[in-house]
């Protein structure tokens, strides 16, 4: 689960991390008061969306101006104007996809004068199963690019959970980043703060990019991206409250209400599959036969008829869908339950596109009978390959 | 022979009295698994499904000589349940629970370090040695005893591949679900090592997917040894979007890498026969076996 930058900064500030003063703005008329509460002389006005690359992004609407999603202002009025220009407009970055994301919240903060930009992250390392620090002198850049082009500029190490964070960990980072004097002590303190927040709040990712050294020589958190383990949010009601559902794809949000794993894609073949691995295998084989999947959808192991019906409705609500492939290898999931769910959904919302159904496994005969006697126009398939070939043929001709 | 579990396995179930625990314990017993008891704090001395219940894993082990445990408890309790089994010295711990918090798994992995316990899962369908021992929630109707070892990151895809193999006459020595989570117990490398030492296993099928480094680690291991048995791999998620979690938490890569193309290239370079898609696994086993006839004959 992701949260906005301003929420991340407030959380880190509560742990004692050095963060600029700032105010969040939800409506244009609040902008002037928010900016006026800050000292200046420079204000930074930042669009709050759950996607990176905001500074280099572009707004779709001409009214938002030529600049990206992070703007510098020299007066309260200018800051308020920039906030108003961006609110409600659509920002496109390399992470949003071409459709972009609507900006519903703006964060106005005190500008910082930057001497150096650094990179810092904490994550759970798969190899050691421990919390790792990742740092680099190349702040403000995409860390994946740094990793690919100049891996020697990245320092990464894991912390032994038996000892927890220790000051030498912080010094190791400080010296790797070329910090000097009082910055070293600041770094040791800040790393301890971040480690504690990471553990206490069940984070899976904490990224400070950039971590800056100001012209007066102090460390400061200039941007913050926090990702929380969705499986652990149940024990952090304060974090659960920060969820902004307007940042999520409406179909994915609807699916999550029914505990369905759904991810919207750009293709034309809607898929309903049981199991994540089989769902990916189904997407791959659709592509192999020359079409594109419109979604990833795993109905899970213990789906009910109602859940299957909802899943089918979500797939058909996508106007790009030109055909549907249901691929079920029933184990825990019974084929008759799937069949009943599909039939109920089609009766409720109708069927305007070809539907191929492949059923195999537990109660397969019962499932096939339900489909065959339903009077629906369903193309039956024998196996995964046959199913993929038939739906691609039905859609592409 | 088989790997990790066989007819000698004596199973206890942590969470046996729950709804899922009851159902899958009963299924396992019907399949022929030797179940010797269950753990339910506060219910020690009572019986469930005709088996004795114990308050702690330690008591259960002392009383029954159990050497394996199925952990089938809700996610908030799963981490502690695994650690209790590890500390009680259980040889094989299988956790099928989904959605175990990552920080809990980090603690489980520290508890596991330096012990002899084999942890399978979490978020795994379990482990199956056909006609000998089932520990988990997988369907068994299509499983047949034989000589193919399977290790997989995905339960549903395993059902699909296993049925294709059995239909083609390729029975299985053991099928291991390593689980779909970021942090888990045994990986492909541990399974490959065990299958290599198992005389019953003649070829290995790895069912992989995007994210993580399980496939890259398998390739590095295969580069480092003369494996001696054909290995086939299917890697799904070639067309999954980057930066998204495709159902399994383990499919997300945080710092780049982990694409299907990378994994396939690494495995192929390590001499692994790649199944082009999910319907190509049986054919890939045939291709791999044909490439290594002299080695097969030598055994």
pLDDT in tens, B188-229: 999 999 999 999 999 999 999 998 889 999 999 999 999 999
For residue B97, the chain A residue with the least C-alpha distance is A231
Q: What is the total residue count of chain A?
A: 397
pLDDT score, position B298:
44
A296 with B251: Cβ contact below 8 A? no
What residue in B sits closest to A234 (Cα-Cα)? B76
Residue A61: pLDDT above 90? yes
Nearest CA-CA distance, residue B270 and chain A, Å: 20
| pLDDT over 80 (residue A339) | yes
- Check A123 against B254: CB less than 8 A apart: yes
Contact (Cβ atoms closer than 8 angstroms) between residue A209 and residue A221: no
pLDDT band at A94 (very low <50, low <70, confident <90, very high): confident
Catalytic residue among A30, A207, A268, A340: A207
Contact A121, A205 (CB under 8 A): yes
Minimal C-alpha gap between B79 and chain A (Å): 12
B239: its two tokens: 């067309």
Which residues in chain B are closer than 8 Å to A384, comparing Cβ atoms?
A: 160, 278-279
Residue B216 contacts residue A267 (beta carbons within 8 Å): no
- Which pLDDT belongs to residue B299? 43
CB-nearest to B237 from A144, A232, A280 is A280
Q: Choosing among A126, A302, A330, A382, which should be mutated to test the B contact, i.e. which has the most B CBs within 10 A?
A: A126
Which candidate, B152, B124, B149, places its Cα nearest to that of B138? Answer: B124
Average pLDDT over residues A243-271: 90
* pLDDT tens-digit series, residues B128-158: 999 999 999 998 989 999 999 999 999 989 9
pLDDT in the model for residue B257:
64
> One of B103, B147, B184, B248 is an active-site residue; which one?
B248
How many residue pairs from chains A and B have C-beta atoms closer than 8 A?
A: 168
Residue A109 clears pLDDT 80, i.e. is over it = yes
Structure tokens at B47: 């019986």
Q: What is the pLDDT of residue A144?
A: 80
**How many Å lie between the alpha carbon of B169 and the closest alpha carbon of chain A?**
18
Give me the pLDDT at residue B262, please: 92
Report the distance separating Cα A246 and Cα A226, nearest Å: 18
DSSP for B185-203 reads SS-HHHHHHHHHH-TT--E
Report the 10 Å Cβ neighbour count for A200: 11
Closest-CA distance, A32 to chain B, in angstroms, reads: 37
Q: Which residues of B228-261 are buried (b: 16+ CB within 10 A; e: fewer)?
A: ebbbbbbbbbbbbeeebbbbbbbbbbbbbebbbe
Mean of pLDDT values over A29-42 = 94
**Residue in A with minimal Cα distance to B142:** A361
And the tokens for B295? 């080695």
Q: What percent of chain A has pLDDT over 70?
A: 100
Contact: B238, A147; criterion CB under 8 Å: no
List, for residues B222-266, the tens digit of each pLDDT value. Answer: 999 999 999 999 999 998 887 777 777 776 665 556 889 999 999
**Contact between B279 and A205 using a beta-carbon 8 Å cutoff:** no
A130, A292, A298: residue with CB nearest B247: A298
Active site residue A165: no
More confident call, A362 vs B56: B56
Is a pLDDT exceeding 50 seen at residue A78? yes
Q: Which residues of B touch A365 (CB under 8 A)?
A: none
- Report CB contact under 8 Å: B278, A384: yes
Question: Taking CB atoms and an 8 Å cutoff, what residues of chain B touch A205?
Answer: 254
pLDDT score of A365 more than 60: yes
Across the interface, do A276 and B207 touch by the CB < 8 Å criterion? no
Per-residue pLDDT at B296: 46
pLDDT, average across residues A309-332: 90
Q: Which residues is A272 bridged to in the sheet?
A: A326
Min Cα separation B68/chain A (Å):
23
Tell how far CA A310 is from the center of its chain.
Answer: 23
Q: Which of A134, A267, A276 to mutate to test the interface with B (most CBs of B within 10 A)?
A: A276
To the nearest 10 degrees (0 to 180), the angle between helices B260-269 and B214-224 is 10
CA of A201: which chain B residue's CA is closest? B103
- Give the span between the Cα atoms of A132 and A175, in whole angstroms: 17
Q: Which of A5, A82, A107, A119 is catalytic?
A: A119
Mean pLDDT of B90-111: 96
Residue of B nearest to A154 (CA): B255
Q: What is the mean pLDDT of residues A165-173?
A: 98
Q: Which of A200, A268, A277 to mutate to test the interface with B (most CBs of B within 10 A)?
A: A277
Give the integer Cα–Cα distance in Å for A262 and A259: 9
Task: Residue count of chain B, please give it.
Answer: 299
State mean pLDDT over B273-278: 96
Taking contacts as CB-CB distances below 8 angstroms, the residues of chain B near A276 are 154, 156, 180, 209, 246-248, 251
- Work out the minimum CA distance from B117 to partner chain A, whole angstroms: 17
**pLDDT tens column, B14-60:** 999 999 999 999 999 999 999 999 999 999 999 999 999 999 999 99
Return the closest-CA partner of residue B185 out of B76, B66, B258, B96: B96
The reply to whether omega before A333 is within 30° of 0 (cis) is no
Would you call A280 and B236 a contact, using CB atoms and an 8 Å cutoff? Answer: yes
Instruction: Look at residue A16 in the predicted model and tell me its pLDDT.
Output: 98
Backbone angles phi, psi at B99, to 5 degrees: 65, 35
């Amino acid at each position: 689960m992701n949260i906005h930058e301003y929420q991340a900064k407030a959380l880190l500030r509560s742990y004692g991390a050095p963060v600029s003063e700032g105010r969040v703005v939800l409506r244009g008329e609040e902008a002037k008061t928010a900016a006026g509460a800050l000292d200046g002389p420079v204000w930074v006005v930042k669009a709050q969306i759950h996607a990176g690359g905001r500074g280099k992004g572009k707004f779709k609407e001409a009214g938002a101006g030529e600049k990206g999603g992070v703007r510098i202002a020299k007066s309260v009025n200018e800051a308020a104007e920039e906030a108003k220009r961006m609110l409600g407009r659509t920002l496109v970055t390399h992470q949003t996809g071409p459709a972009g994301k609507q900006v519903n919240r703006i964060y106005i903060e005190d500008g910082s004068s930057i001497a150096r930009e650094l990179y810092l992250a904490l994550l759970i390392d798969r190899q050691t199963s421990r919390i790792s620090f990742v740092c680099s002198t190349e702040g403000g850049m995409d860390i994946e690019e740094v990793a690919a082009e100049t891996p020697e500029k990245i320092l990464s190490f894991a912390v032994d959970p038996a000892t927890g964070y220790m000051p030498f960990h912080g010094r190791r980072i400080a010296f790797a980043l070329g910090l000097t004097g009082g910055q070293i002590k600041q770094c040791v303190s800040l790393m301890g703060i971040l480690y504690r927040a990471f553990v206490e709040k069940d984070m899976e990712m904490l990224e400070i990019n950039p971590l800056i050294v100001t012209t007066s020589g102090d460390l400061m958190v200039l941007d913050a991206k926090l990702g929380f383990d969705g499986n652990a949010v149940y024990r952090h009601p304060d974090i659960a409250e920060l969820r902004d559902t307007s940042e999520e794809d409406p179909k994915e949000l609807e699916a999550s209400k029914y505990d369905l794993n759904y991810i919207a894609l750009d293709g034309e073949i809607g898929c309903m599959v049981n199991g994540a691995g089989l769902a990916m295998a189904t997407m791959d084989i659709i592509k192999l036969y020359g079409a594109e999947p419109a979604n990833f959808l795993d109905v899970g192991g213990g789906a009910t008829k109602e859940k299957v019906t909802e899943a089918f409705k979500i797939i058909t609500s996508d106007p790009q869908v030109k055909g549907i492939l249901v691929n079920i290898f029933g184990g825990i999931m019974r084929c008759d339950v799937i069949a009943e769910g599909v039939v109920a959904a089609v009766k409720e919302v109708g069927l305007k596109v070809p539907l191929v159904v492949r059923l195999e496994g537990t109660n397969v005969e019962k499932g096939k009978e339900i489909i065959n006697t339903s009077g629906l126009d369903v193309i039956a398939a024998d196996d995964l390959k046959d199913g993929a070939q038939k739906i691609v043929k039905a859609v592409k001709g | 022979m088989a790997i990790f579990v066989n007819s000698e396995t004596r199973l206890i179930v942590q969470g046996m009295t729950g709804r899922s625990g009851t159902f899958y314990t009963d299924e396992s017993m019907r399949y022929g698994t030797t179940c010797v008891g269950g753990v339910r704090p506060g219910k020690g001395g009572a019986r469930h499904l005709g088996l004795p219940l114990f308050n702690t894993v330690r008591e259960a082990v002392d009383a029954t000589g159990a050497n394996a445990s199925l952990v089938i408890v809700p996610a908030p309790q799963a981490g502690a349940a695994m650690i209790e089994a590890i500390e009680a010295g259980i040889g094989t711990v299988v956790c099928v629970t989904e959605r175990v918090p990552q920080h809990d798994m980090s603690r489980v992995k520290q508890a596991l370090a330096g012990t002899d316990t084999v942890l399978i899962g979490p978020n795994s369908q379990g482990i199956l040695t056909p006609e000998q021992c089932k520990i988990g929630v997988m369907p068994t109707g299509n499983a047949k005893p034989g000589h193919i070892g399977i290790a997989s990151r995905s339960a549903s895809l395993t059902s699909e591949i296993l049925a294709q193999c059995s239909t083609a006459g390729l029975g299985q020595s053991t099928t291991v679900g390593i689980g779909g989570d970021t942090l888990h117990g045994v990986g492909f490398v541990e399974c490959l090592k065990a299958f290599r030492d198992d005389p019953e296993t003649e070829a290995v099928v790895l069912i992989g997917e995007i994210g993580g480094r399980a496939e890259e680690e398998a390739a590095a291991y295969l580069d480092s040894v003369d494996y001696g048995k054909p290995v086939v791999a299917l890697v799904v998620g070639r067309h999954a979007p980057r930066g998204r979690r495709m159902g399994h938490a383990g499919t997300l890569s945080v710092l780049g890498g982990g694409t299907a193309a990378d994994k396939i290239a690494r495995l192929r370079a390590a001499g692994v026969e790649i199944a082009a898609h999910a319907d190509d696994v049986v054919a890939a086993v045939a291709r791999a076996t044909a490439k290594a006839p002299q080695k097969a004959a030598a055994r």
